[in-house]
Amino acid sequence: MTDPGVTTDPSAPRPSHLGICVSDLDAALRFWCDGMGFTAAERYDLDSDTVPGLDRSLEAGGHVTVVSQFVRHGATAIELLHYRDPEPHGTPSGSRAQLGYTHLAFQVDDLDAAVTRVVAAGGTLLEATRASLGVELVFLADPDGNRVELLQMG
């Protein structure tokens, strides 16, 4: 039986990973591994002086020195990008009505226990986002302010 959510078209792109720029790699690893249950996986220390085209492919506008640290949880992979040069800049979306990436969502069995775990690992609870909409949910922010939704099914 074919999974209706999976295309069999060999020319269709398939999910690989999500990249998140982080200002502090240690804090991000603590959040994603200790808080969210991911495991640190492959790591690449990259420099545009030794990797031709890196500055162009990362659209950084000049010399680039970056650590690419993958974290994995089952089939889900996140690439944490920690730029040493140039310095990370910008602000993550603070509104789900803002264009672009707004959040990642994860199901949990015990919402309160999951919130406690994630906050202990450096997350910030956004208490005003707690809601009961047929599922219990709440948003948290990672150390850089990226939104993560935790939801407990009814």
The Cα-based distances of 16 to 34, 76, 77, 79 in angstroms read 23, 8, 7, 10
Percentage above 90 pLDDT, the chain: 67
Tell me what pLDDT residue 95 has. Answer: 82
Task: Check pLDDT > 70 for residue 1.
Answer: no
Quick check: 67 and 82 in contact, CB under 8 A? yes
Instruction: Report the pLDDT averaged over residues 93-109.
Output: 88
pLDDT of 21-54, one tens digit each?
Answer: 999 999 999 999 999 999 999 999 999 888 888 8
- pTM score: 0.89
